Amino acid sequence: MDFDLFVIGGGSAGVRCARIAAGHGARVGVAEARFWGGTCVNIGCVPKKFMVMAAEYGLAAEDAAGFGWDAAKGSHNWGRLIAAKDKEISRLNGIYQRLLHQAGASVFEARATFIDAHTLDVGGQRITAERIVIATGGHPTRLEIPGAELGIVSDDAFYLPDCPKRIAIIGSGYIAVEFAGIFAGLGAETHLIYRQPLPLRGFDEDLRLMLAEQMQGNKVILHPDTTPVSIMAEGDGRRLALSDCSVLDVDMVFFATGRAPNVAGLNLAAAGVKTKPSGAVIVDDNLATSAPHIYAIGDVTDLLNLTPVATAEGHAVADTLFGNKPRQVSLANVPTAVFSIPPIGTVGITEEHAPVGSKIFVTKFKPMRHQISGRQRFTLMKLVVDGVTDKVLGVHMLGEDAPEIVQGLAVAVIAGATKADFDRTIGIHPTAAEEFVTLRTQTRVVGQEMAAE
Ligand code: NDP
């Protein structure tokens, strides 16, 4: 065999797996056809966060007046933002490549296709490997409506020549909600069209309600219970017909309607690797596919499509196969954030999924900054506590710094902290975070008609 391990895909999952396996002494090859670092670094988490920051600066410039600054907001230069973002992304690309070289992995800038269960065609070269890892990620999808090709997807949103003046974003998952904050914050008339009564299905209801209110406060125009019917070109603009029989004239329609695994062209059948009807590669608890020496990690499995999960999976597979440290990745209590404006941080179960008898603690307040800035921005914090064991089962927050705060609290939840542990922790004053350790009044009990609110 040419390699002990060949990794297909140089994104978060693949790079981590290749690097760690090579560090354990394995002979490793890795192929990437598009860009090192994959979705997260190039057309996902990282550039998205820079764009959210850009939008927040505009809002902060408005808020500064309350603190005595005679600062005029001025106009935003989209081109300068994209150029700065691109410069940083290419620096990160370089780091990813360097890490692989330093670890001693052989790097192929090419597409890989299975010839048989141990043989790959990598850019025309025939390569054999003892073990193979599929880490090809996913891609954004459009809805099948007439004119769908006239809409953009998140891949495109990072390279637009200009900021649209009017944009309709379809969906209300992570991507839709985050880009609504970006475009509205940068001055676009922003419509959010979604089929649920509230955005972010699956998240805590109190958060969803407050997010909808806060988005409206940021001038996002919400269209709940609505689906798109068709898109037509109107000169350079787009005419979007909606299920409520209304029509929106915008410059751009953006599908943020989910992602699908990248399996096309891999020829998985030749290797005996089975997939779900969605294309997601089927894996067991060790991330092994139906071909036991072939593994799949990250978004291509469509288990929990988050970068830190993908890197953890890559690391675990490398340690298990080559580091003499067999282990699995637990998908329980994975913390996550939505970089909406303001953002959300959450870990553990929601009130809707909490067992009957769970105690709910909720607080809503205007953060200190906005007592003076004048902005109608609020923070919501919520704990879901087991009624029997007193363990904190869920921590949910919407408000400034929520992702930073909840990352720390996730450690407590994973460690099995109780509400009593939270209560005996001294707060850091004055912060928003201290509210999590001073939540004394129970708001309600799951399954009981009671309100101490
Ligand atoms: P999501 O699955 O989060 O959301 C898809 C959205 O599209 C939902 O609002 C969904 O509605 C809607 N939708 C799907 N099908 C239809 C349909 N036929 N008609 C109308 N609406 C439809 O996908 P995203 O594209 O936002 O993101 C993909 C994944 O990427 C996320 O799940 C997440 O795992 C990851 N991600 C993580 C981020 C982070 O960690 N901050 C940031 C961005 C992405 P409904 O709810 O009704 O199904």
* pLDDT tens per residue, range 181-225: 999 999 999 999 999 999 999 999 999 999 999 999 999 999 999
426 class by beta-carbon count within 10 Å (0-12 exposed, 13-18 middle, 19+ buried): exposed
Question: What local confidence, expressed as pLDDT, does residue 445 receive?
Answer: 97
Question: What local confidence, expressed as pLDDT, does residue 449 receive?
Answer: 67
**What is the Cα–Cα distance from 373 to 318, expressed in whole angstroms?**
50
Question: What local confidence, expressed as pLDDT, does residue 311 receive?
Answer: 98
What's the 152 CA to ligand 1 centre distance in angstroms? 15
- pLDDT over 50 at 452, yes or no: no
May I ask the CATH architecture of the domain 342-445?
Answer: 2-Layer Sandwich (3.30)
Q: What is the mean pLDDT of residues 170-188?
A: 98
Same fold, 3-140+260-322 and 342-445: no
Q: What is the mean pLDDT of residues 134-154?
A: 98
Q: Residue 172 CA: which ligand 1 atom is closest?
A: 9
Mutate to test the pocket of ligand 1, among 182, 257, 313 (most ligand atoms within 8 A of CB): 257
CATH, domain range 3-140+260-322: 3.50.50.60
Question: What local confidence, expressed as pLDDT, does residue 448 receive?
Answer: 87
| Relative orientation angle of helices 307-322 and 12-23, to the nearest 10 degrees | 30
- Examine the residue annotation and report whether 315 is marked as an active-site residue of this protein: no
Pocket lining for ligand 1, CB < 6 angstroms:
143, 171-176, 178, 194-196, 201, 227, 256-259, 305-306, 336-339
Q: Residue 337 CA: which ligand 1 atom is closest?
A: 41
Question: What local confidence, expressed as pLDDT, does residue 97 receive?
Answer: 87
Q: Tens of pLDDT along 397-412?
A: 999 999 999 999 999 9
Question: What local confidence, expressed as pLDDT, does residue 125 receive?
Answer: 98
User: How is the chain split into domains, by residue range?
Assistant: 3-140+260-322, 148-256, 342-445
Mutate to test the pocket of ligand 1, among 172, 174, 240 (most ligand atoms within 8 A of CB): 174
Q: Residue 305 CA: which ligand 1 atom is closest?
A: 34
CATH, domain range 148-256: 3.50.50.60
Q: Residue 177 CA: which ligand 1 atom is closest?
A: 26
- pLDDT over 70 at 453, yes or no: no
Q: Tens of pLDDT along 236-267?
A: 999 999 999 999 999 999 999 999 999 999 99
Task: Determine which residue's CA is closest to atom 22 belonging to ligand 1.
Answer: 257
According to DSSP, the β-strands at 166-170 and 336-338 are unpaired
- pLDDT over 50 at 5, yes or no: yes
Question: What local confidence, expressed as pLDDT, does residue 71 receive?
Answer: 84
| 368-376 own/partner pairs: CB under 8 Å, 24+ apart | 368/430, 368/432, 369/63, 369/400, 370/63, 372/66, 372/67, 373/62, 373/63, 373/64, 373/66, 373/67, 374/63, 374/65, 374/66, 375/59, 375/62, 375/63, 375/217, 376/217
Q: Tens of pLDDT along 286-312?
A: 999 999 999 999 999 999 999 999 999
With cut-offs at 50, 70 and 90, classify the pLDDT of residue 450: low
Q: Tens of pLDDT along 65-77?
A: 999 999 888 999 9
What's the whole-model pTM score?
0.97
What's the 140 CA to ligand 1 centre distance in angstroms? 9
Task: Determine which residue's CA is closest to atom 35 belonging to ligand 1.
Answer: 305
Catalytic site residue from 191, 223, 315, 429 = 429
Q: Residue 227 CA: which ligand 1 atom is closest?
A: 20
What's the 148 CA to ligand 1 centre distance in angstroms? 17
Query: Are the C-beta atoms of residues 242 and 248 closer than 8 Å to each other?
Result: yes
What's the 449 CA to ligand 1 centre distance in angstroms? 33
Question: What local confidence, expressed as pLDDT, does residue 323 receive?
Answer: 97
Report the candidate in 401, 377, 384 with the shortest Cα–Cα distance to residue 439. 384
Task: Determine which residue's CA is closest to atom 46 belonging to ligand 1.
Answer: 201
What's the 227 CA to ligand 1 centre distance in angstroms? 14
